[in-house]
Structure 1
Amino acid sequence: MHGAWHGSWCWDTLRAALGADGWTTATVDLPSAGQQAGVRDDARAVLAELERIDGPAVVVAHSYGGIPVSEAVAEAGNVSRLVYLGAYQLDVGESLLGYHSAPVPPEPHGFQAVPDHPVPLFYADVPEPEAEEAAKQLVPQSTKSFSDTLTRAGWHTIPSTYIVCEHDRALPPQDQEALAARSDAVHRIACHHSPFLSMPGELAALLTRIALGSAD
């Protein structure tokens, strides 16, 4: 599941790489990107997609997407593993803002504007044309999604793997390392925030090893 300000479009290159390796993939557009929606709304969208999938699913969550994924999979019965890709692996009662000890904005039902200078923040190692194109597709993010707290955390009962993005400028690597301590296995890759765009082949190979159980 994609992160804040993004959409399912950001996975297209990685999905092509995974498809070439024989994997079937599905993505979800989280309502909180562009709409007045919170974590629970996003979690319902994730759960609805999981209910359409037969057999065990490996769920990959990026950045903010880790929050609604943790909420949703606690209710799903067909998830074999969670993969947190530079993502917020939060626990019950935690929120994105709370994790960073940041106050809730005075207007919690507004939007968080697309950050200034998104290319160096999100796509520092992505080729410039692709980075600029990605930045054009970003949309405002619901403030509520940043302040909502988790009511369930599926990673307590479903095996999880964390992939630390070692050069990330959006979610600092030291924060990722702390979050990764909650996972059953940890991998580290030398990339910035969006390896699905900067190194899709390498990421697809790592996800394949994780899904097959040969990377832990």
Structure 2
Amino acid sequence: MTEPKNLVLVHGAWHGPWCWEPLRPELAGRGWTVSTVDLPSTSGDPAAGMHADARAVEAHLAAIDGPVTLLAHSYGGVPATEAAAPNVRALVYLAAHVLKAGESLVSPLGGPWFPPETEFVPGADPLEALYHDVPADLAREAVARLRPQSAKAFTEELTREAWRDTPSALIVCDDDRAMPEPLMKRAVAEGLTDVVRHLPGSHSPFLTRPAELAALLDDVVAALS
């Protein structure tokens, strides 16, 4: 019998499971059984940080019978790195932070530079930073669905590096205006993942090119196998 193709999607900062909606049918058409994690740090609770998010990912993974591919976007790469469980066969970072133990999301950038109780809202122009090539109506709908993000999620440090023990890949979006370029270059230069692939366009390919992203995921998983 063929092993089930379980795929767990972890969203990034300010987002929720809604952001995967255009991608899910493309993945289902390729035989994936898809589920999503809703991270507590975007729930409006400033006390919920990266470790709470990692526990949510761990609990979700533990409830799945069989091997799992874990796909994490942007900030979601941090709790995914902390939480990846024994049933995770492949870890895919989609325009995501690939960090080392002892680092937080902001520490490689010289942070934190804000009080720990801060609750972040998206920057001054999320349309430009996150969705500059997304169709206008869809981009405005996405901005309206963004949620505040706890600063604690950006300052709690990793205690483990799942990419050391799990085959992993980084998908770089070539016109990404949200991910700090030095972090992408570091991940590639230092070989923090096993496979690197590229997509054209912005930080949000699940909205702009879901079919292309689904096809690339199959290619990545095959390469990691």
| Shorter-chain TM-score range | over 0.9
Q: TM-score, normalised by structure 1?
A: 0.94
Once the two structures are superposed, residues 121-169 of structure 1 have per-residue CA deviations (whole angstroms, 9 ceiling, x without a partner) of 1011111110000000001110000111101111110010000111100
Moved more, 32-41 or 158-167: 32-41
Given that residues 65 and 87 in structure 1 are in contact (C-alpha distance below 8 angstroms), is that contact kept between their aligned partners in structure 2?
Answer: yes
Q: Which residue of 2 aligns with 1:120?
A: 128
Partner SS, residue 137 of structure 2? helix
Q: Which residue of 2 aligns with 1:5?
A: 14
Which residue identity is paired with 1:150? L
Q: Which residue of 2 aligns with 1:153?
A: 161
Given that residues 168 and 192 in structure 1 are in contact (C-alpha distance below 8 angstroms), is that contact kept between their aligned partners in structure 2?
Answer: yes
- The alignment status of 1:178 with 2:189, answered yes or no, reads no
Q: Give 1:215 shift.
A: 7.5
Report 1:35-46 matches (<5 A).
35-36=45-46, 37-46=48-57
Identity %: 47
Given that residues 22 and 206 in structure 2 are in contact (C-alpha distance below 8 angstroms), is that contact kept between their aligned partners in structure 1?
Answer: yes
Aligned CA RMSD, in angstroms, stands at 1.4
Given that residues 164 and 177 in structure 1 are in contact (C-alpha distance below 8 angstroms), is that contact kept between their aligned partners in structure 2?
Answer: no
Once the two structures are superposed, residues 63-114 of structure 1 have per-residue CA deviations (whole angstroms, 9 ceiling, x without a partner) of 00000000001xx110001000110011100011101112341x20220122
Q: Which residue of 2 aligns with 1:134?
A: 142
Which structure 2 segments of 5+ residues have no match?
A: 1-9
Given that residues 195 and 220 in structure 2 are in contact (C-alpha distance below 8 angstroms), is that contact kept between their aligned partners in structure 1?
Answer: no
- The alignment status of 1:103 with 2:112, answered yes or no, reads yes
Q: Which runs of 4+ in 1 moved over 3 A?
A: none
Q: Give 1:173 shift.
A: 3.6
Q: Which residue of 2 aligns with 1:191?
A: 201
Given that residues 166 and 188 in structure 1 are in contact (C-alpha distance below 8 angstroms), is that contact kept between their aligned partners in structure 2?
Answer: yes
Task: Report the Cα distance in structure 2 between the residues aligned to 1:179 and 1:42, rounded to whole angstroms.
Answer: 22
Give the number of equivalent residue pairs.
212
Q: Give 1:174 shift.
A: 4.1
Which residue identity is paired with 2:121? A
Q: TM-score, normalised by structure 2?
A: 0.90
The structure 1 residue matched to 2:177, chosen from 165, 169, 173, is 169
Moved more, 175-184 or 149-158: 175-184
